Amino acid sequence: MLCWLFSIVLLKFDEADLYDSRFKIRGAQPVTKEIVLVTIKPSDFVKIFDLKTNSIVNMNESQDVTDSFFWDQKIWFQMLSQILNQKPQAVGVTLFFGENIGVTRLNSQEIIVFKDPKITWATNTSLLENMSLPFATLPDRSNIAHIEVLRDEDGIVRRLQDSRGFLQDISHAVVDSTRKSKDSLSVINYRGLRRFKTVGLQKVLRGDLPKDFFKDKLVFIGTERTINSQVLTPLGAMPKHEFWAQVTDNVLKKRFIKKGYTWINSLMLLVLTIIAVLVITHFPQAVSLFIFFWIGTIWSAFSIWVFDTFNLWIPLVSPLVLLILIWVLYIGYHALRIEKAHAELQQEQRYLSDLEQLKNNFISLISHDLKTPIAKIQAVVDRLDAEKNIPDHMHEDFGNLKVYSEELNRYIQSILKVLRVESRDFQILKEVADLNEVIENVVERLKPVAKTKNVNIDLTLEPMFLIEFDVTLMTEVFLNLVENAIKYTSANGQVFIRTKETDTEILIEIQDTGEGIAAEDQLHIWKKFVRGKNQDQKTKGTGLGLYLVKYFIELHGGNITLNSEVGKGTTFYVRLPIDPVL
């Protein structure tokens, strides 16, 4: 909302001088057929001037002269006669010919031509008390008009002071149009330099023109080389007769620049603000910047097109500044969010560091202070169980105590393993070894367990090359998998262990003929402290074994999957890459 309000304030400055840039960048405009310019050059009167003054200094095009330099009664009579013969709509003379040309005597033919109602002669000022009348002024002064202009502080003419003056008398059509204008300071729509048909004095005098060249046209006569002949416009210096042709074209075609109401522009800026906010909040930063760029480009193109086509001023700077402000504020807000998130992350890192230290201390405490009491309990139980003078039922109780203490010890060892592997300092120690040998050692260690249940272990190990792996971790993996296979296989069951090597990986299959794992449990058994629902009461376990198995295998760049069906057993597939990328 602040950006929007600021852009509304900018609307007051989004005009005036900015029109100048619009005029300069607009493309070529069509030539106006209703207006013709007659441009007189100093070279047309140099010989006459030299004869009048007997000057030994030749005039040239680079010298500024006064309006009187261009006066020659015979030439002007001939030129105006040629123009009036083609019946133009009106003729406007932007040069002042009054007391500056001395006393002028006119014959009857010259009076008819010079005082023709179609011709409007320029005066030197709009103030009645200081006005010098042209030599051909009619008694009612209906054929004269001032050609003063309204200049801004920088000297550039951007606005038409009023709709009277030179335009009022140049043509009845123009008069009718200007009377309908309500804007006393209309902004002139400059449509480029040299947009009108222009002819030189010599061509007019020779009659070297089409017969209808001036017919029904508005003819402006002037020069480019008098002291006051130039008008400073946004397009640069412009001859007065061309300037008034531009103004007349604005009046006839109603091309004065129109400006929309402030509330409409404010509403457009509000819509643009909403669009910009939606873009920022719904797209990534890079995408938002790209969209902002295209919004600004499309708005600029649309504003320029409307200005050139409909003469309607649509703000350009305010919308672009609005987009920039919104983007800057968003970047600032985003930077604050990042800084805040960074501070929170640092605080969280400190907290995690403290938690890691606490966890390490806890591991140390359990390793040194909890394992020792359990070992002592087991030793006392073994010593008491060895006594001969205790009742038989006590031996059974001591046996149970020994089993329970061993289960507790295994549980603590499993938790310690999880804490160690999840520690930041944990690293695998790889060495070159034979994976088949590791599996054989595991099977050898578990044979007594399998024997108690009469479970047969079938080994099919394919000869393989030595690979790099952490022997301790992989021993834990296969100990857990083979022990689980024996544990969950009923008496007189079978456990199959097979190894196979390909070009890229080693495949190990561990299959049992146990009860299998329900489909709903297969996705959860890899989590910590999770066991199959049917096994919670049948077998003892911590629910950490398979979590560690999966973790250790993934540390080696491998993966583990299973295929199980209730009542038909379970098969685990372990895949280890030969050249793992860690």
Boundaries of every domain in the chain = 1-27+262-425, 31-259, 431-577
For residue 321, is pLDDT > 60? yes
**Residue 174: its pLDDT value, please?**
42
Task: Please give the span between the terminal C-alpha atoms of the chain, in angstroms, as a whole number.
Answer: 52
Q: Do residues 23 and 234 lie in contact, with contact meaning Cβ atoms separated by under 8 Å?
A: yes
Q: What is the mean pLDDT of residues 368-393?
A: 74
**Residue 83: its pLDDT value, please?**
94
- Any idea which of 71-75, 137-141, 518-522 has the lowest mean pLDDT? 518-522
Burial 557-572 (b: 16+ CB within 10 A, else e): ebebeeebeeeebbbb
Which H or E run contains 449? helix 435-452
**Residue 363: its pLDDT value, please?**
65
Closest by CA to 382, choosing from 371, 398, 393, is: 398
Q: Which residue has the tokens 């005039």?
A: 59
Contacts of 400 (CB under 8 A, 6+ apart): none
**Residue 57: its pLDDT value, please?**
44
For residue 543, is pLDDT > 80? no
Which pLDDT tens digit goes with each residue over 395-405? 777 777 877 77
For residue 497, is pLDDT > 60? yes
CA-to-CA distance for 427 and 555, rounded, in angstroms?
Answer: 9
CA-to-CA distance for 488 and 485, rounded, in angstroms?
Answer: 6
Instruction: Look at 79 and 580; give whichever has higher pLDDT.
Output: 79
Q: What is the DSSP letter of 207?
A: T
Which pLDDT tens digit goes with each residue over 186-232? 888 888 888 899 999 999 998 889 988 999 999 999 988 666 778 89
CA-to-CA distance for 356 and 363, rounded, in angstroms?
Answer: 10
Task: Place domain 431-577 in its CATH homologous superfamily.
Answer: Histidine kinase-like ATPase, C-terminal domain (3.30.565.10)
For residue 37, is pLDDT > 70? yes
